[in-house]
């Protein structure tokens, strides 16, 4: 089995690509339709994979944990994008990124009894600083601060549940918890699509891209789940949460964006955090 650090970083890489591609798709098509197609695609591909490849026999609690993870995904996505639609990116993105790390760490240390090493704790602290810096954008509207903070905190709680709940499933469940997660996320997003009525349209090329993106999101959760089974959940969550770094790097390379001094410092801090967490 690969090293848990590499598995968690692979999860971050996949989800970072999903974040980047999803942002591009959402600019050209309805967000709710993009999100629904992605989650549904992830569910179908995961269901096919587990039926063909894994002989696991999941218990009801394992599936419930998976479903709770998917519900957390849906909550995180809805409130993150609600905050972004409100124009408060500089508030919502950093708070949700940092909160989605700190909440699982607090739960892991206080309730799950996990004790990372000294380098691990140092890496966690460095990771929080790195995510805050990398996720930072321009100044937001002061009038939108309170609702933006609320949306960001709810989004971070949703993403924290996504990671923590999935990690509670037993290894004997195989990948079935990820299937339950994608089904729950799809079911939670469906009412949002339905409420938008007949105005929701997703052209074929965007539908294909959304489904492919959803498959990468499912792969991200698979890699994260495997990482939690090989090492500490606390460390796996922090490493998997480095996904905001990927869109920044892709923006620099593919879109010729300039990261600025704060984001550049965040990238350096992220590299240092990965090294420390590797010893955690």
Q: Is 135 helix (H, G, I), strand (E, B) or coil?
A: coil
Q: What tens digit of pLDDT does each residue of 5-36 get?
A: 999 999 999 998 888 888 788 778 888 888 89
Q: Token digits for 206? A: 């965007």
The predicted model gives 73-85 an average pLDDT of: 83
Q: Token digits for 154? A: 């709810």
Residue 263 to residue 137: CA distance in whole angstroms: 9
118-134 helix and 260-277 helix, angle to the nearest 10 degrees: 160
Quote the domain boundaries for residue 90: 4-277
> How many structural domains does the chain have?
1
Q: What tens digit of pLDDT does each residue of 100-150 get?
A: 888 988 898 888 888 888 888 899 999 989 888 887 765 554 555 678 788
From residue 106, give the alpha-carbon distance in Å to each of 31, 99, 109, 170, 272: 32, 10, 5, 21, 21
List Cβ neighbours of 278 (8 Å cut-off, separation of 6 or more): 5, 123
pLDDT higher at 233 or 26: 233
Reported confidence tier of residue 42, pLDDT bands at 50, 70, 90: very high
Rounded to two decimals, the pTM is 0.87
From residue 223, give the alpha-carbon distance in Å to each of 3, 85, 182, 240, 265: 11, 30, 15, 9, 28
């Amino acid at each position: 089995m690969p090293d848990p650090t590499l598995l968690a970083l692979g999860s971050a890489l996949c989800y970072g690509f999903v974040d980047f591609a999803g942002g591009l798709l959402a600019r050209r098509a309805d967000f709710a339709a993009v999100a629904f197609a992605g989650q549904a695609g992830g569910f179908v591909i995961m269901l096919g994979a587990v039926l063909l490849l894994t002989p696991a026999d999941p218990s009801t609690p394992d599936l419930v944990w998976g479903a709770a993870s998917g519900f957390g995904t849906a909550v995180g996505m809805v409130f993150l994008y609600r905050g972004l639609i409100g124009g408060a990116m500089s508030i919502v993105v950093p708070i949700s990124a940092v909160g989605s790390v700190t909440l699982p760490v607090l739960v892991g240390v206080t309730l799950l009894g996990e004790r990372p090493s000294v380098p691990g704790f140092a890496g966690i602290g460095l990771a929080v600083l790195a995510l805050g810096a990398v996720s930072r954008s321009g100044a937001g509207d002061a009038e939108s601060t309170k609702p933006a903070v609320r949306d960001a905190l709810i989004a971070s709680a949703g993403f924290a549940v996504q990671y923590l709940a999935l990690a509670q499933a037993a290894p004997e469940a195989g990948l079935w918890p990820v299937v339950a997660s994608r089904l729950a996320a799809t079911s939670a997003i469906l009412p949002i699509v339905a409420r938008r009525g007949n105005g929701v349209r997703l052209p074929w090329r965007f539908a294909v891209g959304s489904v492919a993106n959803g498959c990468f999101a499912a792969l991200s959760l698979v890699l994260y789940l495997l990482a939690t089974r090989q090492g500490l959940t606390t460390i796996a969550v922090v490493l998997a949460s480095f996904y905001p770094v990927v869109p920044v790097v892709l923006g620099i390379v593919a879109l010729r964006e300039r990261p600025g001094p704060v984001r550049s410092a965040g990238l350096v801090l992220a590299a240092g955090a990965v090294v420390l967490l590797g010893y955690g």
